């Protein structure tokens, strides 16, 4: 029988990120951890001991004892695990990307609707403290530049860099720009793996906003930055440090602190550019993301990063892949 009181949540796939899922789930008070499953028996044993959680020998046993499941396995396995979990009556949190193709993503969405289950996808940057600040500014960006660069790592190479890294920025940009895509130009290269390791895409929206995205997994340094330009405003977001810098053109203000005032513009009307580095309240984005999932289940509300929005990001990533055509 499924529990009505505290959500019983399990984790499937306890590799690099699954470990963090458990670490954060352990800190959430209104849930019960039903256990874990990983097809690497040694890893499952290790994580079961580390967090003192039950190690289920089969997925079936974990699903039968859970109301919700976090799926933190390689992308190619997301669909088969998620459809099984939905059919067994579980709400599903699926790490990004939702799946590796649109047909499977739509099948999951349809099945979840049919069974009244929640799908949330792990587009964690939407819960980044810095992006959370941006969301409340009601921006109308006209040009966006994003860089998501990562040092080479053998994990995640089962999919092109578009589905592994660029998809984060695609999801963020699609949530910010309320317009349809008009045109995409893209280029990409395979360098070390058998799929695209480095790519650049230029997306033109119907409202004339342009987004220029670069993603690479063969960088010397890690970087997760986005710059947004709109009339009289320029904002930079550093997702790694969860920090923001804002530059805003304003009418002359007499009481502005010297440190905030960058430059005076002498035109017909005197203007100045104000620099601001807002104090961002730091928190663990994964914890907030998982709490959001639990909240959506308890209230049967639509998660911010639901199956539909994740599928839209996936479809743009796959379109970029087709354009690159290597």
Is 206 a binding residue for ligand NAD by CB under 6 A? The answer is no
How far is 158 from 212, CA to CA, in rounded Å?
25
Judged by DSSP in three states, 62 sits in helix
111, 117, 121, 126 alpha-carbon torsion, rounded to 10°: 140
Can you tell me which of 24, 32, 43, 312 binds ligand NAD, judged by CB under 6 A?
Answer: 43
Contact criterion met (CB below 8 Å) for 228 and 144: yes
Got the DSSP string for 180-244? -EEEEEEEEE-SSSSS--EEEEEEEETTS-EEEEEEESS-SS-EEEEEEEETTEEEEEETTTTEE
Binding pattern for the stretch 164-203 against ligand NAD, x by CB under 6 A and - elsewhere: x---------------------------------------
From the CB of 3, what's the least distance to ligand NAD, in Å?
A: 23
**Residue placing its CB nearer to ligand NAD in the complex, 37 or 293:** 37
Short-list 242, 207, 213, CA closest to 228: 213
Q: Which stretch binds ligand NAD (CB under 6 A): 24-32, 33-41, 186-194, 253-261?
A: 33-41
Is 160 a binding residue for ligand NAD by CB under 6 A? The answer is no
Q: What's the 3-state SS for 230-241?
A: ECCEEEEEECCC
Can you tell me which of 2, 3, 6, 16 binds ligand NAD, judged by CB under 6 A?
Answer: 16
Can you tell me which of 7, 9, 11, 17 binds ligand NAD, judged by CB under 6 A?
Answer: 17
**Residue placing its CB nearer to ligand NAD in the complex, 21 or 117:** 21
Is 126 a binding residue for ligand NAD by CB under 6 A? The answer is no
Can you tell me which of 67, 95, 104, 246 binds ligand NAD, judged by CB under 6 A?
Answer: 95
Judged by DSSP in three states, 273 sits in strand
| Size of interface with ligand NAD, in residues (CB under 6 A) | 24
Query: Which residues sit at the interface with ligand NAD, rule CB under 6 A?
Result: 12-18, 37-40, 43, 72-75, 77, 95-96, 122, 124, 155-156, 164
């Amino acid at each position: 029988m499924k529990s009505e009181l505290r959500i019983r949540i399990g984790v499937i796939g306890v590799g690099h990120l699954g470990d963090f899922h458990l670490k954060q789930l352990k800190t959430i008070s209104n849930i019960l951890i039903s256990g874990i499953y990983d097809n690497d028996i040694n890893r499952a044993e290790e994580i079961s001991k580390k967090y003192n959680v039950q190690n289920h020998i089969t997925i079936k046993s974990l699903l039968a004892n859970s109301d919700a499941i976090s799926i933190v396995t390689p992308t190619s396995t997301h669909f088969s695990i998620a459809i099984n979990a939905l059919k067994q009556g579980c709400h599903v949190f699926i790490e990004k990307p939702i799946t590796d193709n649109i047909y499977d993503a739509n099948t999951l969405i349809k099945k979840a609707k049919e069974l009244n289950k929640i799908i949330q996808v792990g587009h964690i940057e939407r819960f980044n403290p810095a992006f959370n600040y941006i969301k409340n500014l009601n921006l109308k960006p006209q040009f966006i530049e994003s860089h998501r660069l990562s040092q080479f790592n053998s994990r995640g190479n089962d999919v092109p860099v578009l589905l592994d890294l660029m998809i984060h920025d695609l999801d963020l940009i699609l949530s910010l720009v309320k317009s349809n895509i008009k045109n995409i130009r893209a280029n990409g290269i395979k360098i070390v793996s058998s799929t695209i390791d480095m790519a650049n895409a230029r997306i033109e929206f119907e409202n004339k906003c342009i987004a220029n995205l670069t993603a690479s997994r063969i960088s010397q340094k890690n970087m997760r930055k986005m710059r947004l330009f709109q009339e009289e405003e320029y904002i930079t977001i550093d997702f790694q440090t969860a920090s923001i810098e804002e530059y805003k053109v304003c009418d002359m203000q007499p009481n502005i602190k010297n440190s905030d005032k960058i430059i005076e513009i002498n035109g017909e009307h005197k203007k100045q550019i104000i620099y601001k580095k807002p104090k961002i309240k730091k928190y663990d984005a994964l914890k907030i993301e998982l709490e959001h999932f639990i909240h959506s289940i308890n209230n049967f509300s639509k998660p911010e990063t639901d199956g539909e929005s994740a599928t839209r990001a996936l479809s743009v990533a796959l379109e970029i892949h087709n354009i690159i055509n290597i």
